[in-house]
Structure 1
């Protein structure tokens, strides 16, 4: 019976991780697109609301990339915690 519960738990966590990966994929596309837009900017004399506007845009791109990387780190931590819990449950089950 316990093995069945652990199997169901693993299935639900797998679906949850799949959904989190889909969200990360979407964030990755946004970060890549923003980076492409920045790369397309002219190197000299850009007219984007002066230096202040340019700084705001650069800040937005940086925040997007940082957010994406933080999301990847959170996903890795979640997966590690899940695997740790599953391994603990399986080792306790083997001891019984």
Structure 2
């Protein structure tokens, strides 16, 4: 039984590692996109006026929000899986 639990924990850890790599890449992309904002000129930008700037800024904000939501989902998945493993390790009387 302990070997099964160890295998499950190993698979979960590998899964979390892969998810964190994906999120790290998303974070890097969001960071690079947000750093572009500092390169926007203060006067006479060439983004089709104020509407264009607002549209581009909105896209960047959506990207950052999506990244943060992904981090929250990863945290929740880790917590749920850890809870299941801990209940299994503690035995049947821990579920009461």
- Is the TM value for this pair above 0.5? yes
- Cα deviation for residue 49 of structure 1 reads 1.4
The answer to which of 86-95 and 30-39 deviates more is: 86-95
Distance (whole Å) between structure 2 residues aligned to residue 71 and residue 44 of structure 1: 35
- Cα deviation for residue 93 of structure 1 reads 6.2
Query: Normalization by structure 2: what TM-score?
Result: 0.91
Distance (whole Å) between structure 1 residues aligned to residue 16 and residue 59 of structure 2: 27
- Cα deviation for residue 60 of structure 1 reads 0.5
**Does 2:10 correspond to 1:3?**
no
Deviations 1:16-70 (A, max 9, x none): 0000000001101111110111111112221211122111101110000000000
Aligned length: 94
Distance (whole Å) between structure 2 residues aligned to residue 50 and residue 65 of structure 1: 23
Name the residue aligned to 1:38.
37
Query: Normalization by structure 1: what TM-score?
Result: 0.91
Gaps of 5+ in 1: none
Residues 79-90 of structure 1 aligned to structure 2 (within 5 Å) = 79-90=78-89
User: Root-mean-square deviation (CA), in Å?
Assistant: 1.5
Gaps of 5+ in 2: none
